[in-house]
Structure 1
Amino acid sequence: MLPTGTKNNRPTKSRVCGLLLALLVVAVLRFWRLAEAGPADYDSVRNWQIVLELARGNFAQLFHHGSPAFFLLYAPLAVLTKSFLVFQTINAGFGIIALGLFAAWVAQKASLTGFEAAGLTLLAGTSLLLTFSGRDFTMSSLTLVMYVGLLRSHFTRLHQPSTTVALRVVGWLAIGLCFGYKFLFLVPILVVLELGQADGLWRHRSLWWRALLLLAAPYVLLGAFGVLVGLPWYRWLGFYFRTVVPATANLAGRQSTLHPDLLYYPQYLASYESPLLLIGLVLATGLVWRDWRKKQLFSGQPLPLLAYLLVWAGCLLAGMSLLIKAPRGLLFAYLPLAALAVLSSRRVLPGWALGSVLAAAVGLNIFRIQRELWAPLPTQYSRVAAWLQQHGATKVASTVGLGLAPFLNDQQTLAVVNDEHELAHLRRQGYQYVLLDGYWRVAGLQRFDSLRCQPPVAAWAAPQLQRPLLFLEHSEFTGLGYAETLAACREAATDTLPLRLYQLR
């Protein structure tokens, strides 16, 4: 019995070893030169500031971006440290955990070999967008953990229908909504899959009531907590309403949340992610279609893994193409797309060919990570902060960007302006310097023409502020299309000194 058991355990051991080694490589990529990177974007710094505010007892921004659980989770840490790098590092760890949970689940369900499991982990983990978002301080990494939990539990619900498993799916959805409003976009996909399943589980009235109570619980509990700290009871729900129906245009002039463009995401995936993702999507579609013709899939049978992930990837790609866009709009699609590429390729390619394709894809991903994320390092905000401290500056203004904030000391204050006409008021309040932060180009706020014509007292290059991915990530804010966004990036690249410091007189 012992030799047989040992033999049967070999695929599992190989799979675990492959996963762990691949996760180690991904961890190196995520943490490499992180201390030199500084904040990835505006939202990262704003989230850090809100966490620090909560630690001081200021709960005014508890429901910022509809993510109260994110801020409450990190608030205790802010009692121990204010270091942005510590928050950034811990958050990166959650992204690696999400990747490991997803890859382990797919590998187990599809009986992948150790090499295939490692290939899936590396293909997904070296995605440019997931690497970028895995080095910031936003909700992306934590929401990926909740999303993977939802995927796994719902797949189990389809194959082992029971009230307990169905409520577990609802539980993951409820928890996910506490960390990010984009979990609302998953509800239509769950409905589509449930309609296709048609097993009658949701006909049980008691299940409906229990599910609704479970979904309502976070809103009641956190809403009550919000009232206790002085916020209106409707603040969280009001965020949803204003996201769908903005009262006014934002600072960049974008107001509508609908912007149909079926080419934006395919163009981005083809240009900045592995071509294997789109190839895998097409190949998986053909294989599922062939299987449906032969085996009558979708006729009351639970979906196999390939078809299940295809539904998720396809629905996310189609649905998000109707809304305002940024690469992070497909945050939940990157892992399924990587899985589709591996699962479909292994059905049509011999082992050596699959290995070569995956190695080439991962190599291309790492090249793009080097070009987009590592090459522009180190950040120059630390040098700006050092200059200000040497010259005794205590009150500083910044145009649009918050990147300087984590590098200032406790005696220094940073105010953000979105229009140069605000500087006169700040001057009267004793502000000594203003940093013309090139982030104004990224956000599309062309309101600093007079300031740009003045001679600066100091200036620095900032390649991080001129990368296409950063501009594309803000196309959701600016409302610009894919080509327009890249054109703005090319224009920004002509500015050799995008960080300019001026004295306020």
Structure 2
Amino acid sequence: MLSSAGTNNGHQSPNRLLWLLAALLAVALLRLWRLPETGPPDFDSVRNWQVIQELAQGNFAHLFHHGSPGFLLLYVPVAAFTCDFLVFQTINALLGLLGLGIFAAWVAKKAELTGPETACLVLLGGTSLLLTFSGRDFTMSSVSLVVFAGLLQSHFARLQRPSAAAALRVAAWLAVGLCVNYKFLFALPILALLEIVQADGLWRQRGLWWRVLLVLAAPYVLFGALGVLVGLPWYRWLAVYIRTVVPAAANVAGRKTTLHLDLLYYLRYLAGYESPLLLVGLVLAVGLVWRDWRNGAGFRGRSLPLLPYLLVLAGCLLAGMSLLIKAPRGLLFAYLPLAALAVLGGRRVLPAWALAGVVLAAVGLNLLRIQRELYAPLPTRYPQVAAWLQQHGGTKVVSTVGTGLAPYLNESQTLTIITDERQLAGLRARGYQYVLLDGYWRVAGVHRFDSLRRQVPVAAWAAPELQRPLLFLEHSEFTGLEYAETLAAWRGAAADTLPLRLYRLN
């Protein structure tokens, strides 16, 4: 039953805005709660932070790290004022909220949601476990969500009002997206499919193809020229893509390929760690779109309504990412569309009060999972390790795979990362004093520290933050393990009561 309150009128917009802002404030409290105690949740967060500091100092060797030069350069002005990791982490969290707000405001306007329905969308999407986790790290995910929301708005508008200018705006958003995250490449086939479904003849306009391709090529030309100016090969950015798709060799965890068909991985993750309402909403949307189609609401040659638009988007992301190596972040762009499908579908079959009750129950379950996965392990123990080293004169330190200690060391201390204990002999000769057997080696699946583990540490700490199943699942893209194998690795790590162990090297 569609409530009459869902109709837009002159008084609805301000009311909807208030509900939107109130819900965003609640999500902001969730994202920022105990953030100073979190520390860097993964390797990539620290590495991004380090590369940005290098760029701020004029070292452009890693400009194309992860194929995301736009993301790195975005934060260089911040690095000119501070190197505090928490500042970068907080800004990134706020950007994630901006992306959520832009997406929710767009869906609410196009679907004419009421204020409470808008709040339901924000809360359901904003309390996603993965989006909360990525909203507290320092990777390109948050910026990507901002650009992705802009891309969807511009593309949906292009479908509603076909014009060359609208198509070029879509290309511009996509070009910006490619600068901050190579995973915007995955949007290309989905947008192409939607264009085929639309079939409005826009692409028969003379010269449009070339203008769109020039817009998409512009970032590669500009950053390629910048790369040459700072001494890098002009093809360095494109080489990152090639090495991502076709690795030159197996990584340190033994993963060799990028293709891995597993149709159940993401369904099992969504069922086990995200709100069941996301999958229910997906199935409900399929049923509603099919019913509309059977009733004569064909879409070919007509403007595509919002519900089937988001359904095609979410379905293609689920299907396409199931062909590749997997981690929950592989569905980064799908979580908010899935939340929107649940709300848009739910308002067509439920009274307003029932929809609100179902969503609030789903949000409550999300909060329990966030408490278990993200809050319960706090605070991080790396500051204690850093304090111990400073008290004992540890200035040259080695860490096994993990970089979580780096933001807590002072300027006189050096941290070197190893992926094999055989590297220790050379580092000992170079004056390194301590090695931290960081339990992150288990997360990353780098099992090359057997001799070191048998030694007696000079100090040791618990590290619950390294023993969360979500963290292991997030690294299955790196390890190449399947869903069940990844959780088996997590259960093995959970038996280690002291994952942070410090050993004397000399």
TM-score normalised to structure 2 length? 0.98
Once the two structures are TM-superposed, the CA of residue 303 in structure 1 deviates from its matched residue by: 1.1
Partner SS for 2:326: coil
The within-5 A match list for 1:265-304 is 265-304=266-305
Q: 1:238 — aligned with what?
A: 239
Q: 1:341 — aligned with what?
A: 342
Once the two structures are TM-superposed, the CA of residue 296 in structure 1 deviates from its matched residue by: 3.3
Partners of 2:199 and 2:300 within 8 A in 1: no
Partner SS for 2:295: helix
Paired with 1:19 and 1:365, the residues of 2 have a C-alpha distance of 19
Q: 1:216 — aligned with what?
A: 217
The within-5 A match list for 1:312-351 is 312-351=313-352
Which segments of 5 or more consecutive residues in structure 1 lack a partner in the other structure? 1-6
Partners of 2:48 and 2:138 within 8 A in 1: yes
Q: 2:459 — aligned with what?
A: 458
Paired with 1:368 and 1:14, the residues of 2 have a C-alpha distance of 31
Counterpart AA for 1:278: L
Partner SS for 1:80: coil
Q: 1:78 — aligned with what?
A: 79
Q: Does 1:207 align with 2:208?
A: yes
The within-5 A match list for 1:31-430 is 31-430=32-431
Counterpart AA for 1:238: A
The within-5 A match list for 1:423-438 is 423-438=424-439
Per-residue CA deviations over 1:122-148 (Å, capped at 9, x if unaligned) read: 000000000000001000000111111
Partners of 2:52 and 2:72 within 8 A in 1: yes
Partners of 1:269 and 1:277 within 8 A in 2: yes
Counterpart AA for 1:330: L
Partner SS for 1:9: coil
Once the two structures are TM-superposed, the CA of residue 205 in structure 1 deviates from its matched residue by: 2.8
Once the two structures are TM-superposed, the CA of residue 301 in structure 1 deviates from its matched residue by: 1.3
Partners of 2:198 and 2:302 within 8 A in 1: yes
Counterpart AA for 2:415: L
Count of residue correspondences? 499
Of 99-108 and 7-16, more deviation after overlay is shown by 7-16
Paired with 1:59 and 1:345, the residues of 2 have a C-alpha distance of 50
Which segments of 5 or more consecutive residues in structure 2 lack a partner in the other structure? 1-7
Partner SS for 1:329: helix
Q: 1:440 — aligned with what?
A: 441
Counterpart AA for 1:333: A
Partner SS for 2:207: helix
Q: Does 1:26 align with 2:27?
A: yes
Q: 2:481 — aligned with what?
A: 480
Paired with 2:434 and 2:187, the residues of 1 have a C-alpha distance of 46
Q: 1:3 — aligned with what?
A: none
Partner SS for 2:303: coil
Paired with 2:384 and 2:115, the residues of 1 have a C-alpha distance of 45
Counterpart AA for 1:103: A
Partners of 1:143 and 1:179 within 8 A in 2: yes
Paired with 1:217 and 1:19, the residues of 2 have a C-alpha distance of 36
Once the two structures are TM-superposed, the CA of residue 203 in structure 1 deviates from its matched residue by: 1.1
Counterpart AA for 1:414: L
Q: 2:3 — aligned with what?
A: none
Q: 1:4 — aligned with what?
A: none
Once the two structures are TM-superposed, the CA of residue 10 in structure 1 deviates from its matched residue by: 2.0
Partners of 1:36 and 1:378 within 8 A in 2: yes
Paired with 2:459 and 2:73, the residues of 1 have a C-alpha distance of 39
Once the two structures are TM-superposed, the CA of residue 315 in structure 1 deviates from its matched residue by: 0.2
Quick one: structure 1 residues 359 and 479, their matched pair in 2 at CA, closer, same or farther if it must change by over 3 Å? same
Partners of 1:178 and 1:218 within 8 A in 2: yes
Partners of 1:99 and 1:121 within 8 A in 2: yes
Paired with 2:164 and 2:41, the residues of 1 have a C-alpha distance of 42
Once the two structures are TM-superposed, the CA of residue 299 in structure 1 deviates from its matched residue by: 2.7
Paired with 2:216 and 2:155, the residues of 1 have a C-alpha distance of 16
Counterpart AA for 1:307: P
Partner SS for 2:260: coil
Paired with 2:281 and 2:199, the residues of 1 have a C-alpha distance of 28
Once the two structures are TM-superposed, the CA of residue 255 in structure 1 deviates from its matched residue by: 1.0
Paired with 1:40 and 1:295, the residues of 2 have a C-alpha distance of 50
Counterpart AA for 1:228: L
Partner SS for 1:297: coil
Once the two structures are TM-superposed, the CA of residue 302 in structure 1 deviates from its matched residue by: 1.3
Paired with 1:351 and 1:88, the residues of 2 have a C-alpha distance of 37
Once the two structures are TM-superposed, the CA of residue 295 in structure 1 deviates from its matched residue by: 2.4
Per-residue CA deviations over 1:10-57 (Å, capped at 9, x if unaligned) read: 211211011000000000000000000000100000000000000111
Per-residue CA deviations over 1:361-403 (Å, capped at 9, x if unaligned) read: 0111111111100000000000000000000111000000000
Paired with 1:268 and 1:460, the residues of 2 have a C-alpha distance of 30
Paired with 1:263 and 1:414, the residues of 2 have a C-alpha distance of 40
Counterpart AA for 2:291: R
Partner SS for 2:11: helix
Partner SS for 1:295: coil
Counterpart AA for 1:359: L
Partners of 2:200 and 2:302 within 8 A in 1: no
Paired with 1:209 and 1:172, the residues of 2 have a C-alpha distance of 17
Once the two structures are TM-superposed, the CA of residue 79 in structure 1 deviates from its matched residue by: 1.2
Counterpart AA for 1:149: G
Per-residue CA deviations over 1:300-354 (Å, capped at 9, x if unaligned) read: 1111100000000000000000000000000000010000000001100111211
Paired with 2:291 and 2:301, the residues of 1 have a C-alpha distance of 17
Partner SS for 1:325: coil
Paired with 1:12 and 1:197, the residues of 2 have a C-alpha distance of 30
Per-residue CA deviations over 1:200-220 (Å, capped at 9, x if unaligned) read: 111123111111111111111
Partners of 1:382 and 1:404 within 8 A in 2: yes
Partners of 1:197 and 1:302 within 8 A in 2: yes
Q: 2:5 — aligned with what?
A: none
Counterpart AA for 2:435: V
Partners of 1:462 and 1:498 within 8 A in 2: yes
Partner SS for 2:393: coil
Once the two structures are TM-superposed, the CA of residue 298 in structure 1 deviates from its matched residue by: 2.2
Counterpart AA for 1:390: Q
Paired with 1:228 and 1:295, the residues of 2 have a C-alpha distance of 58
Paired with 1:433 and 1:9, the residues of 2 have a C-alpha distance of 67
Partners of 1:297 and 1:303 within 8 A in 2: no
Counterpart AA for 2:203: W
Counterpart AA for 1:37: T
Partner SS for 1:205: coil
Paired with 1:205 and 1:361, the residues of 2 have a C-alpha distance of 50
Q: CA RMSD in A?
A: 0.8
